């Protein structure tokens, strides 16, 4: 990356989940129990930028928060890197 380039912001699902947990005053242990995962597995999930949709549905239900909409809203924002993957339009 050149010194003149600004880094591309990304929607990191693990960070979004962690932020929502903090906003609600809930722990990772609480969420792990709600979705039937171990705390260790949930920590692994939250370090990733991606997540399986079935797991995300469980997390959305447990936290009563729509992370799908949050990601969609981010894609509509000025922070979304519009030029990324233009060569993938096959």
Q: What is the CATH number of domain 13-75?
A: 1.10.260.40
The pLDDT assigned to 42 comes to 93
CB atoms within 10 A of CB 19: 12
Query: What's the confidence (pLDDT) of residue 6?
Result: 42
pLDDT at 70: 80
DSSP structural state of residue 16: H
Question: Tell me, what's the pLDDT at 10?
Answer: 74
Residues of the chain with pLDDT under 70: 1-9, 77-90
Cα 56 to Cα 90: distance, rounded to the nearest angstrom: 28
Cβ atoms of residues 68 and 60 within 8 Å:
yes
CA dihedral in degrees (80, 53, 18, 79; nearest 10)?
0
DSSP annotation string for 38-76: -HHHHHHHHHSS---HHHHHHHHHHHT--HHHHHHHHHH
């Amino acid at each position: 990356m050149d010194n003149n380039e600004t880094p591309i912001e990304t929607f990191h699902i693990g960070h979004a989940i962690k932020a929502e947990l903090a906003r609600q005053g809930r722990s990772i242990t609480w969420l792990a129990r709600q979705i039937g995962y171990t705390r260790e597995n949930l920590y692994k999930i939250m370090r990733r930028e991606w997540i399986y949709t079935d797991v995300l549905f469980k997390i959305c239900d447990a936290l009563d928060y729509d992370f799908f909409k949050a990601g969609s809203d981010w894609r509509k924002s000025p922070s979304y890197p519009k030029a990324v993957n233009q060569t993938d339009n096959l």
